[in-house]
Structure 1
């Protein structure tokens, strides 16, 4: 049980760190700098607060790296519960990492265009068009990433329920969280006008990861009565 507690604590702390840091670029930076439908004001805000925008870039890079270690930590925790599901969870968890890094280049391009030296041979209107394109591509990248952010939660929820390391309601909520990510992705890609409505409706579902992290951290600190559950479900 000491090994299970240690692995649960490690995975929970990594997940908690991701939950705390990821909203900086996904939520906080856009809320402070971006103005929907007004690229001129958005660009002016970025140029007025370059440090905040660059912080968003750094947090994206940090989260992409952290996702690798988190996925491996969760695989180590659940691999004896159901190895096939654990492998599927790990594959789905690692697949978006390269896309995450590539998507950061769109923000780097915005920083270069607005915060660096003015590109030679480009008019102000052309620079603004390039900024708009880069930011649009970044948003599209997030929509694609949400497919994986949702899909990997399905095997993770199944593993959590089977292991009995967290309450079943937490595993179920995690599954609903995965559905919410997929709904946000589909809406963002094919029906952007519904983005606001779906995002608002998805807020309660997206607390599933928070609940899972809290329960997993509690397991890592205090242990769990079902100490033999993972071994009982092990796959040879």
Structure 2
């Protein structure tokens, strides 16, 4: 359930809240949006905190799930997931401060709020690097485990590589954001497949221990 919560809170944060508040390059509109939609901005902050919490729980749960398959690779999932959560937390501090600054409504608040949101966006972009790094060992372990579909593992690995490349491409150019988003599509497919697999089919305790196909007894990420 933690992984489902991560997926939902992540989509809400990206699709619903951030795009309605931050106007890149326009300090006046960004500050006006924050003041006019204070409630939406605060919900966005809460949603980002939910991303941090669910990312943390999911990272630890994946370590527990995959530790019998390969403890070092499982530990890398936890490590990259926890670092990603910390980076998102730093980004959230930026957006929360931007709201406070915008509400101050003095002569410098608009420019300061935009700068803080720009820093928020930069931190979230860099968080994608660690998100990609956590998908690669996850995919490798899923394929190696014997109780998850091998194609799922390959898609997760491809998604992780795509995320890393998207961060590099975004750092090199901002002219074609569609190419950056296209590189993240495999990761979205792989994560939705993993969430659905764990919720619908699950993984049995005995399969985790022995590397056998799952039985009727399920172990879910909680």
Question: TM-score of the superposition, structure 2-length normalised?
Answer: 0.85
Q: Distance in 1 between matches of 2:208 and 2:84?
A: 30
Mapping of residues 57-206 of structure 1, within 5 Å: 57-115=45-103, 117-118=104-105, 123=107, 126-200=108-182, 202-206=184-188
Structure number, greater radius of gyration? 1
Match of 2:217 in 1: none
Count matched residues.
Answer: 212
Distance (whole Å) between structure 2 residues aligned to residue 59 and residue 214 of structure 1: 22
Unaligned runs of 5+ residues in structure 2 are: 213-222
1:14 to 2:2 alignment: yes
Distance, in Å, in 2 between the alignment partners of 1:39 and 1:187 is 26
Aligned partners of 1:143, 1:167: CA distance in 2, in Å? Answer: 30
Contact 1:180 1:202 in 2 (8 A): yes
Aligned CA-pair RMSD: 2.2
8 Å Cα contact 1:25-1:59 kept in structure 2: yes
Once residues 85 and 208 of structure 1 are traced to their aligned partners in structure 2, the CA distance between those partners, rounded to angstroms, is: 18
Provide the residue aligned with 2:16 in structure 1. 28
**Cα deviations across residues 100-121 of structure 1 (Å, max 9, x unaligned)?**
2222111112111112x345xx
Does the CA contact (< 8 Å) of 1:68 and 1:94 recur in 2? yes
Aligned to 1:6: none
Quote the residue 2:210 is aligned against: 231
Task: Give the corresponding residue for 1:43.
Answer: 31
Change (3 A) 1:118 1:83: same
Q: Does the CA-based 8 Å contact 1:143-1:186 persist in structure 2?
A: no
Aligned equivalents of 1:72 and 1:186: distance in 2? 27
**Displacement of 1:30:** 2.6
Local SS of the residue matching 1:152: helix
Partners of 2:30 and 2:113 within 8 A in 1: no
Larger RCO: 1 or 2 (CA < 8 Å, sep 6+): 1
Runs of 4+ that moved beyond 6 A: none
Runs of 5+ consecutive residues of structure 1 not aligned to the other structure:
1-12
